[in-house]
Amino acid sequence: MRDEGKQKENERKFDRWEELSDGGRRYYLELQGRYGWKARYIKEVDVLETTVKFYQEIYDEHGQLVEVHQKYPVDLGHVKIKENK
């Protein structure tokens, strides 16, 4: 059974979310940087609203994904996305 308190807290902290096929949710929060770059924080939870994965995506001024930083369950540090040419 979903923890309604955690769900309400996640809905308050994150401005968007989507239901996942396994009954969990994926929450999103986007923050604009000073130089046109954008950070998107993504939190994935299971059906009980327990955090399964939390990571950050960094987008440049053109909206291209340039870096991903998984923070949970294991902090993998910043991983640069290679440019496809």
Question: What integer best gives the mean pLDDT of the chain?
Answer: 93
Using CA atoms, how far apart are residues 50 and 22, in angstroms rounded to an integer? 13
Q: Retrieve residue 60's tokens.
A: 């440049």
pTM equals 0.88
Residue 19 lies in a domain: yes
| pLDDT for the residue numbered 85 | 46
Q: Which domain holds residue 9?
A: 4-80
Percent above pLDDT 70 for the chain: 96
Residue 73 lies in a domain: yes
Residue 72 lies in a domain: yes
Confidence of residue 69 (pLDDT cuts 50, 70, 90): very high
pLDDT in tens, 31-50: 998 888 999 999 999 999 99
Residue 85 lies in a domain: no
